[in-house]
Structure 1
Protein backbone atom coordinates (compact mmCIF):
# COMPACT_ATOMS: atom_id res chain seq x y z
CA UNK A 1 0.00 0.00 0.00
CA UNK A 2 1.34 3.43 -0.98
CA UNK A 3 1.03 5.98 1.84
CA UNK A 4 1.36 9.60 0.69
CA UNK A 5 1.46 11.01 4.23
CA UNK A 6 4.34 8.99 5.71
CA UNK A 7 6.60 11.99 6.52
CA UNK A 8 3.85 14.32 7.71
CA UNK A 9 3.07 12.88 11.20
CA UNK A 10 6.37 14.44 12.31
CA UNK A 11 4.76 17.84 11.65
CA UNK A 12 2.50 18.25 14.67
CA UNK A 13 0.21 21.14 15.61
CA UNK A 14 1.93 23.48 18.06
CA UNK A 15 5.40 22.70 16.72
CA UNK A 16 7.63 25.61 15.64
CA UNK A 17 9.28 25.14 12.26
CA UNK A 18 11.63 27.16 10.07
CA UNK A 19 10.03 28.11 6.73
CA UNK A 20 10.75 30.16 3.59
CA UNK A 21 8.30 32.22 1.54
CA UNK A 22 7.87 30.90 -2.02
CA UNK A 23 5.63 33.65 -3.45
CA UNK A 24 2.97 36.23 -2.61
CA UNK A 25 -0.74 35.88 -3.43
CA UNK A 26 -3.71 38.14 -2.57
CA UNK A 27 -4.82 35.76 0.24
CA UNK A 28 -1.38 35.05 1.70
CA UNK A 29 1.81 33.13 1.06
CA UNK A 30 2.75 29.55 0.18
CA UNK A 31 5.90 28.43 2.00
CA UNK A 32 8.42 25.62 2.05
CA UNK A 33 9.07 24.07 5.45
CA UNK A 34 12.82 23.71 5.89
CA UNK A 35 13.73 20.02 5.86
CA UNK A 36 10.47 19.03 4.14
CA UNK A 37 10.94 20.73 0.76
CA UNK A 38 10.70 17.40 -1.10
CA UNK A 39 7.91 15.87 1.00
CA UNK A 40 5.16 16.78 -1.48
CA UNK A 41 3.17 18.94 0.90
CA UNK A 42 1.30 22.21 0.68
CA UNK A 43 2.13 24.77 3.38
CA UNK A 44 0.18 28.06 3.19
CA UNK A 45 -0.09 30.99 5.55
CA UNK A 46 -3.50 32.64 5.13
CA UNK A 47 -2.53 36.24 5.87
CA UNK A 48 -6.09 37.52 5.48
CA UNK A 49 -7.47 35.02 8.01
CA UNK A 50 -4.65 35.76 10.47
CA UNK A 51 -4.37 39.54 10.22
CA UNK A 52 -7.46 41.12 8.60
CA UNK A 53 -9.06 41.80 12.00
CA UNK A 54 -5.96 43.67 13.23
CA UNK A 55 -5.13 45.72 10.13
CA UNK A 56 -7.04 48.73 8.88
CA UNK A 57 -6.13 48.65 5.17
CA UNK A 58 -5.00 46.32 2.42
CA UNK A 59 -1.63 48.12 2.29
CA UNK A 60 -1.14 47.54 6.03
CA UNK A 61 -1.93 43.84 5.50
CA UNK A 62 0.51 43.60 2.56
CA UNK A 63 3.25 45.15 4.73
CA UNK A 64 2.98 42.10 7.01
CA UNK A 65 3.82 39.66 4.18
CA UNK A 66 7.37 38.34 4.76
CA UNK A 67 9.73 38.89 1.78
CA UNK A 68 10.00 36.08 -0.79
CA UNK A 69 12.84 33.71 0.08
CA UNK A 70 13.19 34.99 3.62
CA UNK A 71 13.54 32.40 6.41
CA UNK A 72 11.29 32.80 9.45
CA UNK A 73 9.70 30.80 12.27
CA UNK A 74 6.13 29.58 11.97
CA UNK A 75 3.93 27.35 14.11
CA UNK A 76 2.01 24.42 12.68
CA UNK A 77 -1.68 25.16 13.23
CA UNK A 78 -3.18 22.17 11.39
CA UNK A 79 -1.97 19.11 9.49
CA UNK A 80 -4.48 17.77 6.92
CA UNK A 81 -3.60 14.31 5.62
CA UNK A 82 -6.88 12.98 4.20
CA UNK A 83 -5.74 13.00 0.56
CA UNK A 84 -2.67 14.18 -1.35
CA UNK A 85 -1.05 16.56 -1.10
CA UNK A 86 -0.67 16.80 2.66
CA UNK A 87 -1.55 20.34 3.70
CA UNK A 88 0.17 21.92 6.69
CA UNK A 89 -1.45 25.20 7.71
CA UNK A 90 0.98 27.57 9.42
CA UNK A 91 0.59 30.63 11.62
CA UNK A 92 3.00 33.51 12.20
CA UNK A 93 0.89 35.50 14.68
CA UNK A 94 3.11 36.58 17.57
CA UNK A 95 0.73 35.11 20.19
CA UNK A 96 0.75 31.74 18.36
CA UNK A 97 4.56 31.75 18.14
CA UNK A 98 4.67 32.19 21.91
CA UNK A 99 1.95 29.63 22.70
CA UNK A 100 -0.60 28.19 20.26
CA UNK A 101 -4.08 27.81 21.76
CA UNK A 102 -6.58 25.51 20.02
CA UNK A 103 -9.84 23.77 20.95
CA UNK A 104 -9.95 20.26 22.40
CA UNK A 105 -11.69 17.97 19.91
CA UNK A 106 -13.53 16.23 22.79
CA UNK A 107 -14.76 19.05 25.07
CA UNK A 108 -14.28 22.13 22.87
CA UNK A 109 -12.47 24.05 25.61
CA UNK A 110 -9.20 25.92 24.86
CA UNK A 111 -5.98 23.94 25.07
CA UNK A 112 -2.34 25.02 24.81
CA UNK A 113 -0.20 23.15 22.30
CA UNK A 114 3.55 23.11 22.64
CA UNK A 115 5.86 23.47 25.63
CA UNK A 116 4.03 23.85 28.91
CA UNK A 117 0.68 22.88 27.41
CA UNK A 118 -1.62 20.03 28.33
CA UNK A 119 -2.41 18.90 24.78
CA UNK A 120 -2.09 15.47 23.27
CA UNK A 121 -1.89 15.24 19.49
CA UNK A 122 -3.38 11.92 18.41
CA UNK A 123 -2.69 10.46 14.99
CA UNK A 124 -5.32 8.07 13.69
CA UNK A 125 -5.03 6.05 10.51
CA UNK A 126 -6.77 3.09 9.03
CA UNK A 127 -4.97 -0.13 8.25
CA UNK A 128 -6.68 -0.48 4.88
CA UNK A 129 -5.42 2.55 2.97
CA UNK A 130 -3.70 5.90 2.98
CA UNK A 131 -4.90 9.01 4.74
CA UNK A 132 -4.75 9.89 8.39
CA UNK A 133 -6.27 12.35 10.82
CA UNK A 134 -5.09 14.41 13.79
CA UNK A 135 -7.17 14.79 16.95
CA UNK A 136 -6.16 17.32 19.62
CA UNK A 137 -7.18 16.53 23.17
CA UNK A 138 -6.65 17.49 26.80
CA UNK A 139 -4.94 14.61 28.61
CA UNK A 140 -7.87 14.25 30.99
CA UNK A 141 -10.42 14.27 28.12
CA UNK A 142 -8.69 11.28 26.51
CA UNK A 143 -8.17 9.50 29.84
CA UNK A 144 -11.86 9.89 30.74
CA UNK A 145 -12.86 8.18 27.49
CA UNK A 146 -10.71 5.10 28.14
CA UNK A 147 -12.57 2.31 29.95
CA UNK A 148 -12.03 2.49 33.75
CA UNK A 149 -10.87 -1.14 33.87
CA UNK A 150 -8.05 -0.23 31.48
CA UNK A 151 -6.18 1.73 34.18
CA UNK A 152 -2.76 1.30 32.54
CA UNK A 153 -3.84 3.06 29.36
CA UNK A 154 -5.61 5.77 31.37
CA UNK A 155 -2.41 6.39 33.35
CA UNK A 156 -0.32 6.53 30.16
CA UNK A 157 -2.72 9.06 28.60
CA UNK A 158 -2.16 11.33 31.60
CA UNK A 159 1.64 11.00 31.48
CA UNK A 160 2.66 10.66 27.82
CA UNK A 161 4.97 13.45 26.73
CA UNK A 162 5.28 14.92 30.22
CA UNK A 163 8.88 15.46 31.23
CA UNK A 164 9.47 14.08 34.70
CA UNK A 165 10.67 16.77 37.12
CA UNK A 166 13.42 15.75 39.51
Structure 2
Protein backbone atom coordinates (compact mmCIF):
# COMPACT_ATOMS: atom_id res chain seq x y z
CA UNK A 1 0.00 0.00 0.00
CA UNK A 2 1.30 3.46 -0.83
CA UNK A 3 2.55 5.55 2.08
CA UNK A 4 0.19 8.27 3.23
CA UNK A 5 2.61 11.08 2.39
CA UNK A 6 3.14 9.68 -1.10
CA UNK A 7 -0.59 9.38 -1.57
CA UNK A 8 -1.17 12.97 -0.49
CA UNK A 9 1.57 14.12 -2.87
CA UNK A 10 -0.16 12.34 -5.75
CA UNK A 11 -3.47 13.95 -4.84
CA UNK A 12 -1.94 17.42 -4.75
CA UNK A 13 -0.72 16.99 -8.31
CA UNK A 14 -3.92 15.41 -9.57
CA UNK A 15 -6.09 17.50 -11.87
CA UNK A 16 -9.80 18.20 -11.54
CA UNK A 17 -10.62 15.38 -13.92
CA UNK A 18 -8.88 12.92 -11.64
CA UNK A 19 -10.31 14.16 -8.37
CA UNK A 20 -13.52 15.99 -9.12
CA UNK A 21 -15.27 17.59 -6.17
CA UNK A 22 -15.78 14.36 -4.29
CA UNK A 23 -13.79 11.13 -4.65
CA UNK A 24 -12.64 8.23 -2.50
CA UNK A 25 -9.21 6.64 -2.42
CA UNK A 26 -7.66 3.66 -0.61
CA UNK A 27 -6.01 4.48 2.71
CA UNK A 28 -3.62 2.83 5.17
CA UNK A 29 -6.52 2.02 7.45
CA UNK A 30 -9.82 0.23 7.35
CA UNK A 31 -12.20 2.27 5.21
CA UNK A 32 -11.37 5.13 2.86
CA UNK A 33 -10.32 8.74 2.92
CA UNK A 34 -12.79 11.14 1.38
CA UNK A 35 -11.49 13.97 -0.76
CA UNK A 36 -14.00 16.78 -0.26
CA UNK A 37 -13.24 20.16 -1.77
CA UNK A 38 -9.52 19.47 -1.42
CA UNK A 39 -9.62 18.21 2.17
CA UNK A 40 -8.69 14.77 3.45
CA UNK A 41 -11.22 13.41 5.93
CA UNK A 42 -11.79 9.82 7.04
CA UNK A 43 -15.20 8.52 6.06
CA UNK A 44 -17.91 9.97 8.30
CA UNK A 45 -20.42 7.66 9.91
CA UNK A 46 -23.54 9.43 8.71
CA UNK A 47 -25.67 7.82 11.41
CA UNK A 48 -23.93 9.66 14.23
CA UNK A 49 -21.93 12.37 12.49
CA UNK A 50 -18.41 11.56 13.61
CA UNK A 51 -15.43 10.09 11.74
CA UNK A 52 -15.44 6.29 11.79
CA UNK A 53 -12.01 5.81 13.42
CA UNK A 54 -12.13 2.88 15.80
CA UNK A 55 -10.82 3.21 19.35
CA UNK A 56 -7.05 3.07 19.38
CA UNK A 57 -6.84 3.40 15.59
CA UNK A 58 -4.19 5.81 14.37
CA UNK A 59 -3.30 6.81 10.82
CA UNK A 60 0.35 5.81 10.60
CA UNK A 61 3.20 6.35 8.19
CA UNK A 62 6.92 5.61 8.09
CA UNK A 63 7.81 9.16 9.11
CA UNK A 64 8.33 10.46 12.66
CA UNK A 65 5.25 10.94 14.80
CA UNK A 66 2.81 13.47 13.36
CA UNK A 67 0.47 15.21 15.77
CA UNK A 68 -3.02 15.51 14.29
CA UNK A 69 -4.05 17.11 17.60
CA UNK A 70 -2.52 20.45 16.59
CA UNK A 71 -5.35 21.09 14.14
CA UNK A 72 -7.99 23.45 15.48
CA UNK A 73 -5.65 24.23 18.36
CA UNK A 74 -6.48 27.93 18.25
CA UNK A 75 -10.15 27.21 18.95
CA UNK A 76 -11.50 26.72 22.47
CA UNK A 77 -14.90 25.55 23.67
CA UNK A 78 -17.11 28.60 24.11
CA UNK A 79 -15.60 30.48 21.16
CA UNK A 80 -18.12 32.18 18.86
CA UNK A 81 -17.58 31.36 15.18
CA UNK A 82 -19.30 31.59 11.82
CA UNK A 83 -19.92 28.41 9.89
CA UNK A 84 -21.26 27.44 6.47
CA UNK A 85 -23.75 24.57 6.30
CA UNK A 86 -22.48 22.06 3.74
CA UNK A 87 -24.94 19.16 4.10
CA UNK A 88 -27.98 17.84 5.94
CA UNK A 89 -27.72 14.45 7.66
CA UNK A 90 -30.22 12.33 9.64
CA UNK A 91 -28.49 13.30 12.90
CA UNK A 92 -27.89 17.03 12.15
CA UNK A 93 -25.72 19.07 9.80
CA UNK A 94 -22.17 19.05 8.48
CA UNK A 95 -20.54 22.48 8.53
CA UNK A 96 -17.38 24.36 7.66
CA UNK A 97 -16.00 26.82 10.23
CA UNK A 98 -14.71 29.99 8.61
CA UNK A 99 -10.96 30.17 8.98
CA UNK A 100 -10.79 26.44 9.81
CA UNK A 101 -12.02 24.92 6.56
CA UNK A 102 -9.54 22.02 6.72
CA UNK A 103 -11.02 20.71 9.98
CA UNK A 104 -14.28 18.79 9.86
CA UNK A 105 -17.23 20.25 11.77
CA UNK A 106 -20.80 19.31 12.59
CA UNK A 107 -23.77 20.16 14.78
CA UNK A 108 -26.10 17.55 16.23
CA UNK A 109 -29.82 18.19 15.86
CA UNK A 110 -30.06 18.49 19.65
CA UNK A 111 -27.94 21.65 19.39
CA UNK A 112 -30.02 23.32 16.67
CA UNK A 113 -33.07 25.38 17.65
CA UNK A 114 -36.42 23.71 16.93
CA UNK A 115 -39.23 26.24 16.27
CA UNK A 116 -41.72 23.38 16.75
CA UNK A 117 -40.42 22.78 20.27
CA UNK A 118 -39.05 19.31 19.55
CA UNK A 119 -36.08 18.21 21.71
CA UNK A 120 -34.11 17.74 18.49
CA UNK A 121 -34.50 19.98 15.47
CA UNK A 122 -36.48 18.34 12.68
CA UNK A 123 -34.71 17.98 9.29
CA UNK A 124 -36.92 20.68 7.81
CA UNK A 125 -35.79 23.01 10.62
CA UNK A 126 -32.09 22.71 9.80
CA UNK A 127 -30.40 25.84 8.40
CA UNK A 128 -30.37 25.67 4.56
CA UNK A 129 -27.30 24.25 2.86
CA UNK A 130 -24.96 27.04 1.75
CA UNK A 131 -25.95 29.63 4.35
CA UNK A 132 -23.61 31.03 6.99
CA UNK A 133 -24.75 30.80 10.59
CA UNK A 134 -23.58 31.97 14.00
CA UNK A 135 -22.36 29.12 16.18
CA UNK A 136 -20.35 28.36 19.29
CA UNK A 137 -17.64 25.73 19.62
CA UNK A 138 -19.03 23.04 21.88
CA UNK A 139 -16.04 20.73 21.75
CA UNK A 140 -12.93 20.09 19.68
CA UNK A 141 -12.54 16.35 19.42
CA UNK A 142 -8.85 15.43 19.18
CA UNK A 143 -8.67 12.13 21.04
CA UNK A 144 -8.61 10.10 17.81
CA UNK A 145 -7.77 11.39 14.32
CA UNK A 146 -8.96 13.46 12.66
CA UNK A 147 -9.54 16.59 14.72
CA UNK A 148 -13.25 17.42 14.67
CA UNK A 149 -15.21 20.53 15.74
CA UNK A 150 -18.60 20.06 17.37
CA UNK A 151 -20.82 23.12 17.21
CA UNK A 152 -23.95 24.36 18.90
CA UNK A 153 -26.30 26.73 17.08
CA UNK A 154 -28.88 27.15 19.83
CA UNK A 155 -29.78 30.75 20.53
CA UNK A 156 -29.38 30.22 24.28
CA UNK A 157 -25.83 28.91 23.76
CA UNK A 158 -24.96 31.87 21.55
CA UNK A 159 -25.82 34.11 24.50
CA UNK A 160 -24.01 31.98 27.10
CA UNK A 161 -22.50 28.54 26.63
CA UNK A 162 -21.93 26.28 29.63
CA UNK A 163 -20.82 22.69 30.17
CA UNK A 164 -20.55 20.48 33.28
CA UNK A 165 -17.35 20.95 35.28
CA UNK A 166 -15.11 17.87 35.30
CA UNK A 167 -14.44 18.39 39.01
CA UNK A 168 -17.75 19.29 40.65
CA UNK A 169 -20.27 18.42 37.96
CA UNK A 170 -21.96 21.84 38.08
CA UNK A 171 -22.26 23.95 34.94
CA UNK A 172 -19.21 26.05 34.11
CA UNK A 173 -19.70 29.03 31.81
CA UNK A 174 -17.22 28.76 28.94
CA UNK A 175 -18.31 31.90 27.08
CA UNK A 176 -15.98 34.92 27.39
CA UNK A 177 -16.15 36.33 30.91
CA UNK A 178 -17.41 33.06 32.36
CA UNK A 179 -16.08 31.07 35.29
CA UNK A 180 -14.97 28.05 33.26
CA UNK A 181 -11.89 27.04 31.26
CA UNK A 182 -10.95 24.10 29.05
CA UNK A 183 -8.19 21.74 30.15
CA UNK A 184 -6.31 19.91 27.36
CA UNK A 185 -4.39 16.76 28.30
CA UNK A 186 -1.59 15.74 25.90
CA UNK A 187 1.34 13.36 26.14
CA UNK A 188 4.80 12.94 24.60
CA UNK A 189 3.95 9.23 24.27
CA UNK A 190 1.94 9.97 21.15
CA UNK A 191 -0.68 12.18 19.49
CA UNK A 192 -4.14 12.73 20.88
CA UNK A 193 -5.73 15.19 23.27
CA UNK A 194 -8.33 14.66 25.99
CA UNK A 195 -10.24 17.79 26.97
CA UNK A 196 -12.69 18.70 29.71
CA UNK A 197 -14.35 21.80 31.09
CA UNK A 198 -13.70 22.93 34.64
CA UNK A 199 -14.34 25.91 36.89
CA UNK A 200 -11.21 28.01 37.37
CA UNK A 201 -11.73 27.83 41.11
CA UNK A 202 -12.19 24.04 41.10
CA UNK A 203 -8.95 23.51 39.20
CA UNK A 204 -7.00 25.99 41.31
CA UNK A 205 -8.25 24.41 44.54
CA UNK A 206 -7.05 20.99 43.42
CA UNK A 207 -3.48 22.12 42.83
CA UNK A 208 -0.89 21.79 45.56
CA UNK A 209 -1.21 24.81 47.89
CA UNK A 210 2.53 25.39 47.49
CA UNK A 211 2.06 25.94 43.74
CA UNK A 212 0.95 29.53 44.22
CA UNK A 213 2.13 30.60 40.78
CA UNK A 214 0.22 27.85 38.97
CA UNK A 215 -2.91 28.55 41.00
CA UNK A 216 -2.71 32.24 40.16
CA UNK A 217 -2.20 31.51 36.46
CA UNK A 218 -5.24 29.22 36.35
CA UNK A 219 -7.37 32.08 37.67
CA UNK A 220 -5.79 34.71 35.42
CA UNK A 221 -5.20 32.90 32.10
CA UNK A 222 -6.87 34.69 29.21
CA UNK A 223 -7.85 37.60 31.44
CA UNK A 224 -4.86 39.24 33.10
CA UNK A 225 -1.82 38.20 31.12
CA UNK A 226 1.52 39.63 32.30
CA UNK A 227 2.78 42.52 30.13
CA UNK A 228 5.48 42.09 27.53
CA UNK A 229 8.95 43.29 28.53
CA UNK A 230 10.80 45.85 26.42
CA UNK A 231 12.55 43.02 24.54
CA UNK A 232 9.20 41.55 23.54
CA UNK A 233 9.47 38.60 25.90
CA UNK A 234 6.63 37.97 28.32
CA UNK A 235 7.70 38.14 31.92
CA UNK A 236 7.28 34.89 33.92
- Category of TM-score, reference length = shorter chain: 0.7 to 0.9
Task: For 1:22-61, list aligned pairs within 5 A.
Answer: 22-38=86-102, 41-48=103-110, 50-51=112-113, 55-56=117-118, 61=122
Distance 1:145 1:102 in 2: 19
* CA distance in structure 2 between the aligned counterparts of 1:115 and 1:67, rounded to whole angstroms: 29
Conservation of the 8 A alpha-carbon contact between 2:115 and 2:125? no
RMSD: 2.3
- Long gaps (5+) in structure 2: 1-64, 226-236
Deviation at 1:31, TM superposition (A): 0.4
Distance 1:50 1:161, change over 3 A: same
Name the structure 1 match of 2:4: none
CA contact (8 A) 1:123 1:134 kept: yes
2:68 corresponds to 1:7: no
How far does residue 61 in structure 1 lie from its aligned partner after superposition?
2.2
Report deviation, 1:51: 4.8
Correspondence list, 1:130-141, <5 A: 130-141=191-202
The superposition leaves residues 117-159 of structure 1 with CA deviations (integer Å, 9 ceiling, x where unpaired) of 0111122100121101212111111111110111111122122
1:60-71 matches, cutoff 5 A: 61-71=122-132
For 1:26-52, what per-residue CA distance to the aligned partner results, in whole angstroms no more than 9, with x for missing partners?
2211001111112xx331111146557
C-alpha displacement at 1:21, in angstroms?
0.6
Q: Secondary structure at the match of 1:5?
A: helix
Cα distance in 1 between the residues matched to 2:183 and 2:214: 14
Shift of 1:7: 2.3
- TM-score normalised to structure 2 length: 0.63
Deviation by residue 1:9-32 (Cα, 9 ceiling, x = unmatched)? 212110011100111112211001
Question: CA–CA distance in 1 between the matches of 2:89 and 2:72?
Answer: 25
How far does residue 75 in structure 1 lie from its aligned partner after superposition?
Answer: 0.4
1:150 and 2:211 correspond: yes
Whether contact under 8 Å (2:88, 2:123) holds in the other structure is: no
**For the Cα contact (< 8 Å) 1:18–1:73, is it kept in 2?**
yes
Q: 1:153 to 1:19 in 2, by over 3 A?
A: same
Rg larger in structure: 2
The 1-side partners of 2:93 and 2:209 are apart by 47
Pair 1:87-2:151 in alignment: no
Q: In 2, Cα distance between the equivalents of 1:91 and 1:118?
A: 19
Report how many residues are paired.
161
Question: Which ranges of 4 or more aligned residues in structure 1 deviate by more than 4 Å?
Answer: 48-54
